[in-house]
Amino acid sequence: MRIGIVCPYSLDVPGGVQNHVIDLAEALIALDHEVSVLAPADEESVLPPYVVAAGRSVPVPYNGSVARVSFGPVVTTRVRRWLNRGEFDVLHVHEPFALSVSLLAVLCAKGPVVATFHTAMMRSRALAAAQGVLQLVLEKITARIAVSALARRVQVEHLAGGAVEIPNGVAVAKFAGAPPLPGWPGSGGALGFLGRFTEPRKGFGLLRQAFVALAPHRPELRLLVAGPGRPEELYAGIPDELRDRVTFLGQVSEQDKARMLRSVDLYVAPNIGGESFGMILTEAMAAGTAVVASDLDAFRRVLDDGQVGELFATGDPVALREAVERLLDDEPRRLAYAERAGQVVANYDWPVVARQVLEVYAAAIEATDGRVLYQEWADPR
């Protein structure tokens, strides 16, 4: 099958949707399909051979974060050229309502279109305000995928349709087999956090408060942090005497992300909102690391209502500290969480997820072929 996949966000910066697109493409290639990915990226960027750069991106606020997208006449021309050259059996766009190449690809498409919705934005007023444009896009989408029940709910309640729920995938073997970083996790307990720690919705401030409260009573407790941002922003609020127990890796590669997750006793996800799935949780689970996460609906679903990880009251630094302390003092419980998580995360392994996506592709192609046959019968011209 010839498959075109469109990512709306720049591959020059890391992100959940970007990682999803690349991992899905590689899983489909491993299943002997021909795949091309179109995404915003500088033409000078080092990209996988199956990726086509749509051009430089610009930052725009989106879903409580900042997304780097590409739009405009030049980008539209590149999208059309890529579609014409690809002659794809199916086009798979991610986040088709983002003002970027995904939306342009849908509007330019002529064959079956599958759209994946990652976010769970429930602000129907914003969706209603753009209903005219959204309707044009929706009419060209043949089949929809939602990565979570929350993302699917948006389709049902606000976009006049349903979607097949297929979760984000995770490369289980890559995380399970990664070696820890030298000297980690150590004997005194190690906590981990990965993400944009300057974004309020990621909740890093809560973890920082918990660490500062716990560290004086646990002289060997350490914190390992990875993600974009300046060190001075990370260390703000951490007393001088504790700073040598906080290690900042900066922005890491996918390989080093796996090593980082294998290097801690607990992965902490203190997010306070704006999450539709929780990919970092499944990655930590694949790494065999016990998870402590805020009680967001998306996280609760991934952790099976607390059966495969510890949940704490969202936004409560005291509840977070107590949850971390309980697990640091209870190694059997940590190991039990990790064992159960390993069984659950097998359902998220990319070969499993990719085959579910292929079923949606096949249905979209069949539906489009049937539509064409009907149109030819109804109008023999």
The pLDDT tens digits for 96-141 are 988 899 999 999 999 999 999 987 654 544 445 556 667 788 889 9
| Identical fold between 2-169+349-378 and 172-347 | yes
CATH number of the domain at 2-169+349-378, out of 3.40.50.2000, 3.30.230.10, 3.90.1300.10, 3.40.190.10? 3.40.50.2000
Whether 180 and 256 have beta carbons less than 8 Å apart is answered as no
Whether 64 and 53 have beta carbons less than 8 Å apart is answered as no
pLDDT digits (tens, 9 = 90+) for 249-299: 999 988 999 999 999 999 999 999 878 778 899 999 999 999 999 999 889
Instruction: Write the CA distances from 234 to 229, 291, 326, 332, integer angstroms.
Output: 8, 21, 25, 32
353: Cβ–Cβ under 8 A, 6 or more apart, which residues? Answer: 24, 27, 166, 167, 168, 169
Listing DSSP states for 310-321 in one string gives EEE-TT-HHHHH
Q: pLDDT grade, residue 64 (50/70/90)?
A: low
pLDDT digits (tens, 9 = 90+) for 31-42: 999 999 999 988
CA 277 to chain centre: 8
Higher pLDDT, 63 or 245: 245
pTM of the model as a whole: 0.82
According to CATH, the topology of domain 172-347 is: Rossmann fold (3.40.50)
Domain ranges for the chain: 2-169+349-378, 172-347
The 10 Å Cβ neighbour count of residue 83 is: 21
